[in-house]
Amino acid sequence: MTIDSRVDGESTRLLSVRDLRKVFPAPRGTKGAEVLAVDGVSFDLEADECLAIVGESGSGKTTVARMIVGLETVTSGTVEVLGQDRTAAPKHLRERRARAREVQYVFQDPYSSLNGRQRIGEVVLNNVRLHADRAISRKELENRGKEILDSVGLPWSFADRFPRELSGGQRQRVAIARALAAEPKVIVLDEAVAALDVSIQAQILNLLADIKAERKVSYLFISHDLAVVHQISDRMIVMENGVVVDAGDTSALLAHPTHPYTRTLRAAVPGPGWRPSRRATLEA
Ligand SMILES: Nc1ncnc2c1ncn2[C@@H]1O[C@H](COP(=O)(O)OP(=O)(O)OP(=O)(O)O)[C@@H](O)[C@H]1O
């Protein structure tokens, strides 16, 4: 299924994925077959938009995201970011950094994605320094760090702490702050709230909504959780076995799922407060 959303040549398109395919070799030492993880996936991400990629475990969501940011090679198909071909993995450090300024990645587990020996201030300031287009003074750097931590709801006093001293939700705020420090156009959030308690999830979703409104950043939001996707995304695509089987406006698709797989996913969403016909409140 090809999803050509708003294909009208407008310059608001940040990300464009066409016919993306990924074949992994058979696991080493086995006589097993190659794994076709992603098969002909196409979609666009527009400015100011949150597009969700939904699907059960193993449907290929993460592999799509990893190909977009160059963490995984592309078997065939194309990836364009801001009109530039980004299909090939970055070859040099400079290219890797340039691409990181376009798209940042926030992982599910901030504990393993944060360096345990690095204080929170360093985590954020290193990324500011790395992606700054000019030399910046210590004072300016610190002001920027304060502003970024503040934007994720953390006081500057957290700068001296280590990740192990933070709660799961606070660590995820730091991971988001680190992404923001690069001033990216797009943030890929890969199951970014999956490891958090429901009340903390709601706070982080709130925060993401605020950041999106204030900074005009777009999200590619990967999740298996339709309740979460309903809260945060404008549009969604549904993946099954590496293929996009359904796509559309999130509220409309969840209110009236037409594809059998989307209906199955929808039916698995648990109980109280789940109202597909109404935009869920973001209040924690
Ligand atoms: N490095 C790899 N080598 C071989 N197969 C892989 C590799 N990475 C992923 N796969 C396989 O590709 C398929 C898609 O995996 P992927 O992680 O993209 O799915 P997912 O929808 O993100 O699921 P999850 O949420 O569980 O990560 C799965 O069958 C997975 O086992």
Query: What is the amino acid identity at position 34?
Result: E
Q: How far is the CA of 246 from the centre of ligand 1 (A)?
A: 20
81-94: b (≥16 Cβ within 10 Å) or e: beeeebbeebeeee
For residue 263, pLDDT beyond 70: yes
For residue 85, pLDDT beyond 50: yes
Q: How many helices (H) and strands (E) does the chain have?
A: 10, 10
Amino acid 270: pLDDT: 64
Q: Does the domain spanning 13-267 belong to CATH 3.40.50.300?
A: yes
Mean local confidence (pLDDT), 179-201: 92
With a 6 A CB cut-off, is 58 part of the ligand 1 pocket? Answer: yes
Alpha helices in 163-277, H assignment, sequence order? 168-181, 198-215, 226-232, 250-255, 260-267
For residue 10, pLDDT beyond 80: no
With a 6 A CB cut-off, is 63 part of the ligand 1 pocket? Answer: yes
Highest mean predicted confidence (pLDDT) among 9-13, 38-42, 129-133, 251-255: 38-42
Mean local confidence (pLDDT), 232-261: 93
With a 6 A CB cut-off, is 250 part of the ligand 1 pocket? Answer: no
Task: Dump pLDDT digits (tens) for 98-154.
Answer: 888 899 999 887 667 788 899 999 999 999 998 887 888 889 999 999 999 999 999
Amino acid 233: pLDDT: 96
Task: List beta partners, residue 35.
Answer: 24
Amino acid 83: pLDDT: 92
For residue 278, pLDDT beyond 60: no
Task: Dump pLDDT digits (tens) for 197-235.
Answer: 888 999 999 999 999 999 889 999 999 999 999 999 999
Q: How far is the CA of 63 from the centre of ligand 1 (A)?
A: 6
Q: Whose CA is nearest to atom 26 of ligand 1?
A: 57
Mean local confidence (pLDDT), 148-174: 93
Dist CA 173 CA 183 (whole Å): 15
For residue 5, pLDDT beyond 60: no
What does pTM read for this prediction? Answer: 0.89
Q: How far is the CA of 39 from the centre of ligand 1 (A)?
A: 13
Q: Hey, what long-range contacts does 31-37 have (CB within 8 A, 24 or more apart)?
A: 36/242, 37/63, 37/242
- The percent of residues in the chain predicted with pLDDT above 70, rounded, is 90
Contact (CB, 8 A) for 103 and 188 = yes
Dist CA 180 CA 174 (whole Å): 10
**Torsion on CA atoms 220, 101, 72, 124, rounded to nearest 10:** -90
pLDDT band, very low/low/confident/very high, at 7 (cuts 50, 70, 90): very low
Amino acid 273: pLDDT: 59
**Which is it for the CA torsion 109, 115, 119, 123, positive or negative?**
negative
Dist CA 274 CA 101 (whole Å): 36
Query: What is the amino acid identity at position 71?
Result: L
Nearest atom (ligand 1) to Cα of 55: 21
